Chains A and B, each alone.
Chain A
Amino acid sequence: MTIETAPAKAEGVDTPTPAVRSTTLLARSLRLWRTRIGAVLGLILVLIAIVGPLVAPHASDEFITKPFSSGAASGTMFGTDYLGYDVLSRFLYGGRSILVIAVISTAIGVTLGVVIGLVAAYARNSLDDVLMRLMDVIMAFPQIMLALVAVSLVGAKNWVIIVAIALTTAPRVARVARGAAQPVVERDFIGATEAMGMSRIRILSGELLPNILGPMMVETTLRLTYSISVISALAFLGLAANPDAPNWGTMIQKNQGALSYQPWGALLPIMAIALLTMSTGLIGDGIARTAAGIDRERGDE
């Protein structure tokens, strides 16, 4: 992906600065405390979401005792929920779907956005204008609203939620990708690759993309944060694919009525979503700062 050999420095020639590898950027960002805290938090929550179902003391649909019983009364750690199920087990089961849908939809949205942004930046003609106006149209809908409307039309299915989130993520990413790629397109080494007869796809993927990896990694973590927000908010509004399945958003919705006397059913998933979004936010900021630091060292800015 990157240019391995150091290019010869010639006077007055715009030699390409080797793009920073994404792994280098990640490793260097881990020198910052915020990234470390974010990574540890994220790791814990991902572990809970993925391993949770394997270690849960009860099945996700096992009736324990009457709804909203305290821990002592039901013989469980955090009591029972609105259905009389074990809060802890529902919590351990409830993160997986949110996390999986968030990662898939963000990945699709970011890929789509980067492709559109790079094509627009490289085109430098009316195609650029048309693409970006189209992105404006989609961006006129807030993410949560478009997702709500999509769900109302087609039904609360997982693929609908994924498509809605990917579709609303793409234009926002495209804007950033285009902004980051525009100055790169103007540089001499892009002209050189064109002169060498390199194909458009290879220029976009091999030359442009590595040069905007930093901002794109930051954007990806930001978008992942928002995807988690929107997906859990949809479930909170009662629009998860399966309203009876254990899901952190659904748990908050159904158990919030008992917050004053049996808070754990809502409190655990609230904390989990808060810490999960915090962790992606911290990691993103850490990467952004590291990338800015590398740019400063090189004198790009």
Chain B
Amino acid sequence: MKWFRGGGIAGFIIRRVLLGVLVLFLVSAIVFLSTQALGDPARAILGRDATPDRLAALQKQLNLDSSKLAQYFQWLGGLLHLDLGTSLASSQPVTEVLGDRLVNSAVLVVLAAVISVPISIAIGSYAALRREKIFDTVSSNLMLVLAALPEFVVALLLVILLSFNVFHVFPPTSPVPVGTKPWDYPDELVLPVTTLVIAVAPYVSRIMRASMIEVLESDYVEMARLKGLPERTVLVRHALPNAIGPVFQVIAINLAYLAGGVVVIEAVFNYPGIGLALVDAVTNHDIPVVQALAMLIAAVYVVLNLLADVATILVTPRLRTRL
């Protein structure tokens, strides 16, 4: 897209936003097509006692008698007004069904991010400073192994270790009852959040280590040291800000990944968030809820990637001048 250059940082941000909107538009088309073309929701609701009369009535009620294209734009228009339709399973608006659950999942993801990002940046940086020494070897190998484990296996190993078989410290499930908030049960949040932290930390710390090693070998860090600056200043003022640029991308990708990763984690801990809602909606063929969640998770992914691109540009002077 060579016609699409120039304009400095503002131009870059506008381009990325437009691209993001384009991707989301395509995503919405795919979500709609795949959920509509493959099954008649009216038939799915009525199941075996679908008489032609009742089927026609329900189809009219669900607006299924208009053309597919009209249905798509109606649905898309609803999305833009945050009207996500009506859940087939509970006959309540989807926004109402998902509202609390969204908050619950957001609590998990935000807590996991706030805890894992500083920890993994610290681990990665320290491993880079002590390259090939014992801390680096141990943490690198540990992170390699942890990165390979599926999240639900990590979750279950934590349950085995901390709830059931070795220690009995934390509750094995986190069923936040309706009407209460997850932060009322801090001990129930420990295991799910720890699982998510373990799922993210390996990737962030690994890229931080690699980035830091590169920066530490650079001329300007050498220069800063030769000027006689205290090692502390060299690291905090010169090395860290330059090393952190590439890490934003990985953090964003991992946060977006968390939005998907919570699906399984919530099922393990029976935690009432969007993940459990998705599993329930999938089991009940509750198509409006599946559509809404698919759009939501895709939107989170697109927005996070956008923010990462912009943040990377803003913190990396080298890239800023190249625009």
Give A residues with C-beta under 8 Å from B.
34, 126, 129, 133-134, 136-137, 139-145, 148-154, 225, 228-230, 232-233, 236-239, 252, 256, 259-260, 263, 266-267, 270, 273-274, 277-278, 280-282, 285
A285 engages B144 (CB within 8 Å) = yes
The one of B144, B152, B157, B281 in contact with A233, judged by C-beta atoms closer than 8 angstroms, is B152
Tell me, yes or no, whether B223 is within 8 Å of chain A by CB: no
How distant is the Cα of A151 from the Cα of B285 in the complex, in angstroms?
A: 10
Known A-B contacts A133-B23, A144-B260; the reply to A152 vs B285 at CB < 8 A is yes
Tell me, yes or no, whether B150 is within 8 Å of chain A by CB: yes
Tell me, yes or no, whether B115 is within 8 Å of chain A by CB: no
**Distance between A237 CB and nearest chain B CB, rounded to angstroms:** 6
A236 engages B152 (CB within 8 Å) = yes
Inside 8 A of A144's CB, which chain B residues have their CB? 260-261, 263-264
The one of A34, A149, A252, A274 in contact with B294, judged by C-beta atoms closer than 8 angstroms, is A149
Inside 8 A of A142's CB, which chain B residues have their CB? 256-257, 259-261, 263, 297, 301
B148 engages A282 (CB within 8 Å) = yes
Tell me, yes or no, whether B91 is within 8 Å of chain A by CB: no
Q: Residue on B with the closest CB to A260? A: B164
Known A-B contacts A141-B294, A152-B282, A259-B159; the reply to A277 vs B150 at CB < 8 A is yes
A233 engages B264 (CB within 8 Å) = yes
Known A-B contacts A142-B261, A148-B278; the reply to A278 vs B34 at CB < 8 A is no
Inside 8 A of A232's CB, which chain B residues have their CB? 150, 152-153
Inside 8 A of B260's CB, which chain A residues have their CB? 141-145
A259 engages B160 (CB within 8 Å) = yes
How distant is the Cα of A238 from the Cα of B285 in the complex, in angstroms?
A: 15
Inside 8 A of B261's CB, which chain A residues have their CB? 142, 144
**Distance between A254 CB and nearest chain B CB, rounded to angstroms:** 13
In the complex, per-residue mask of B137-157: 1 if CB is within 8 Å of any chain A CB, else 0: 000010011011111110011
How distant is the Cα of A216 from the Cα of B248 in the complex, in angstroms?
A: 25
**Distance between A295 CB and nearest chain B CB, rounded to angstroms:** 15
Helix, strand, loop or mixed for chain A's interface? helix
Helix, strand, loop or mixed for chain B's interface? helix
Known A-B contacts A133-B23, A136-B23; the reply to A148 vs B144 at CB < 8 A is no
**Distance between A91 CB and nearest chain B CB, rounded to angstroms:** 15
Inside 8 A of A133's CB, which chain B residues have their CB? 19, 22-23, 26
**Distance between A149 CB and nearest chain B CB, rounded to angstroms:** 6
**3 shortest A-B CB distances, which residue pairs?**
A142-B260, A281-B148, A229-B150
How distant is the Cα of A153 from the Cα of B39 in the complex, in angstroms?
A: 7
B145 engages A278 (CB within 8 Å) = yes
Known A-B contacts A133-B22, A137-B23; the reply to A281 vs B147 at CB < 8 A is yes
Known A-B contacts A149-B294, A270-B153, A281-B144; the reply to A260 vs B165 at CB < 8 A is yes
Inside 8 A of A260's CB, which chain B residues have their CB? 164-165
Known A-B contacts A142-B257, A142-B261, A152-B290; the reply to A274 vs B149 at CB < 8 A is yes
Tell me, yes or no, whether B310 is within 8 Å of chain A by CB: no
Q: List 7 A-B contacts (CB under 8 A).
A: A137-B27, A142-B259, A143-B260, A236-B264, A237-B279, A277-B149, A278-B145
In the complex, per-residue mask of B298-319: 1 if CB is within 8 Å of any chain A CB, else 0: 1001100000000000000000
The one of A153, A236, A239, A273 in contact with B34, judged by C-beta atoms closer than 8 angstroms, is A153
B23 engages A282 (CB within 8 Å) = no
Inside 8 A of B297's CB, which chain A residues have their CB? 141-142, 145
Known A-B contacts A229-B150, A274-B149; the reply to A266 vs B264 at CB < 8 A is no
Inside 8 A of B152's CB, which chain A residues have their CB? 232-233, 236, 252
A273 engages B278 (CB within 8 Å) = no
Known A-B contacts A133-B23, A148-B282; the reply to A266 vs B148 at CB < 8 A is no
Inside 8 A of B302's CB, which chain A residues have their CB? 140
In the complex, per-residue mask of B227-252: 1 if CB is within 8 Å of any chain A CB, else 0: 00000000000000000000000000
Tell me, yes or no, whether B38 is within 8 Å of chain A by CB: yes
How distant is the Cα of A137 from the Cα of B172 in the complex, in angstroms?
A: 37
Tell me, yes or no, whether B1 is within 8 Å of chain A by CB: yes
Q: Residue on A with the closest CB to B264? A: A233
Tell me, yes or no, whether B86 is within 8 Å of chain A by CB: no
B150 engages A282 (CB within 8 Å) = no
The one of B19, B23, B141, B293 in contact with A34, judged by C-beta atoms closer than 8 angstroms, is B141
How distant is the Cα of A50 from the Cα of B46 in the complex, in angstroms?
A: 43
Q: Residue on B with the closest CB to A225? A: B148
Known A-B contacts A142-B260, A148-B278, A237-B279; the reply to A278 vs B35 at CB < 8 A is no
Tell me, yes or no, whether B56 is within 8 Å of chain A by CB: no
Q: Residue on B with the closest CB to A276? A: B148
**Distance between A39 CB and nearest chain B CB, rounded to angstroms:** 14
How distant is the Cα of A134 from the Cα of B29 in the complex, in angstroms?
A: 13
A237 engages B264 (CB within 8 Å) = yes
A141 engages B298 (CB within 8 Å) = yes
The one of B38, B149, B256, B290 in contact with A278, judged by C-beta atoms closer than 8 angstroms, is B149
